Amino acid sequence: MKAHMEAHGMSTEDAKQKHRAYVGGMFDEIGELQFDFLKDQGLQEHHCLLDVACGSLRLGHHAIKYLDKARYIGFDHNAWLIEEGIKKELGINWLIQKAPLFIVNDTFNLGEINGNPTYAMCHSLFTHLTKDDIIKCLTSLNRFRWTMVFATFNVGDRAAIRRTRTTTTPSTITSIR
């Protein structure tokens, strides 16, 4: 195993940290930033948070410890990331004590959720999705009654959008929004 990792230029230390690197690095900083932001926006212990594309629990391990039992839902299509996050960031005792729900699929199917989560965080997800998948995700979120939904995204090239607006038909303009 060690030889295999070294052959691929990956040190033992890299492999231990792979779940952190995969979600973009600055694990501690971005995790705390998301968590503090949600609390600033009114997230309280009794609220229910849906962490859309929770990855290796960069936000999740803070939120699970803070929220009341069974008030955190993590969704992602990579089971291995969630497993590593539980093992290396959250810990089994917190898992047992707080009983978070994890949903894994690549169709944005949130049908396993009973009840109504009130806060959602979609951090660094839409930047990785096609337009169709963003629509699928938003459609799936739309069945809940939200207090707040937050998402990060890249603002497009405004000049290019203006050019498109002036050179395309109205129906095409609608499709780029």
Ligand X SMILES: C[S@@+](CC[C@H](N)C(=O)[O-])C[C@H]1O[C@@H](n2cnc3c(N)ncnc32)[C@H](O)[C@@H]1O
> What residue ranges bind ligand X (CB under 6 A)?
23-24, 30, 53-55, 58-59, 76-78, 81, 106, 123-125, 128, 133
With CB atoms as reference, the residue minimizing the distance to ligand X is 55
Q: Minimum distance between the CB of residue 40 and ligand X, rounded to whole angstroms?
A: 17
Residue 32 CB, shortest distance to ligand X, in Å, is 11
Question: 3-class DSSP state for residue 121?
Answer: strand
The answer to whether the beta carbons of residues 65 and 94 sit under 8 Å apart is yes
Backbone phi and psi for residue 146, each to the nearest 5 degrees, phi listed first: -95, 150
Closer to ligand X by CB, 79 or 160: give it.
79
155 contacts 177 by C-beta, under 8 angstroms: no
Compute the distance between CA of residue 152 and CA of residue 90 in angstroms, rounded to an integer.
24
Query: Toward ligand X, which CB reaches closer, 79 or 176?
Result: 79
Residue 50 or 164 with smaller CB distance to ligand X: 50
Other residues' Cβ atoms within 10 Å of the Cβ of residue 140: 17
Residue 64 Cβ, how far from ligand X at the closest point, in Å? 14
We find the least distance from the C-beta atom of residue 7 to ligand X, in angstroms, to be: 26
**How many whole angstroms separate alpha carbon 92 and alpha carbon 157?**
45
In the bound state with ligand X, the residue whose beta carbon lies nearer, of 33 and 173, is 33
Give the N- to C-terminal CA distance of the chain in Å, as an integer: 48
CA distances from 22 to 15, 81, 84 (A): 11, 8, 11
Q: How far is the CB of 31 from ligand X (least distance, A)?
A: 7
Question: Which of 48, 53 has the CB closer to ligand X?
Answer: 53
